[in-house]
Amino acid sequence: MCQWHKWHKGGCDSPRSVSYYIHTTQPNQMRKIEAQMIDAIHDMRDFQSGNTKVVTEGDTSVVYLHGHKIAEVDEDSIRLFDGGYQSKTTKSRLNAILSTCGFAGECVVQKDFNWFYRKFVGAMNGESVFILKDFESGMFA
């Protein structure tokens, strides 16, 4: 079901950061609970295991970590939240969602204790080009 790429136009809306990256593939090291979370999102069904919960609201899957909303995923968009905690686990859950439902190479990264969103903006000479945007809770991927 993950045809969620169609909404992404590849444009960029005035990012503060101007760092550009060429996409390099990295091995996917998704945890079992994250794979189950992704399956629930794709199947549009509720799921709960440990600290992670997926609730289906209409055509949107809402993902919670420790009871705090960290993502809303539907067929046309992905909305990212930090749930008030920019933790390693929150970042891992968001990156699992982005790796399966977003463009290849998009992810949340951390540098000097600050979160950034690595956004696909197009291709140059056959290579994917990314920029780093400041992470803002509630932003659309």
Q: Where are the beta strands (DSSP E) in 9-141?
A: 20-22, 47-49, 52-57, 60-65, 68-73, 78-80, 107-111, 114-124, 127-134, 139-140
Which pTM value belongs to this model? 0.80
Question: Could you read off the pLDDT of 65-102 as tens digits, one per residue?
Answer: 999 999 999 999 999 999 999 999 999 999 999 999 98
Return the number of other C-beta atoms located less than 10 Å from residue 113's C-beta. 6
Tokens of 44: 């549009």
Rounded-to-integer distance, Cα 31 and Cα 34, Å: 5
**For position 49, what pLDDT does the model report?**
96
pLDDT beyond 90 at 136:
yes
- Contact criterion met (CB below 8 Å) for 128 and 23: yes
Rounded to the nearest 5°, which phi and psi values hold at 84? 90, -5
Give percent of the chain with pLDDT exceeding 90.
Answer: 75
pLDDT of 124 higher than 70:
yes
**19-30: pLDDT as tens digits:** 333 334 444 568
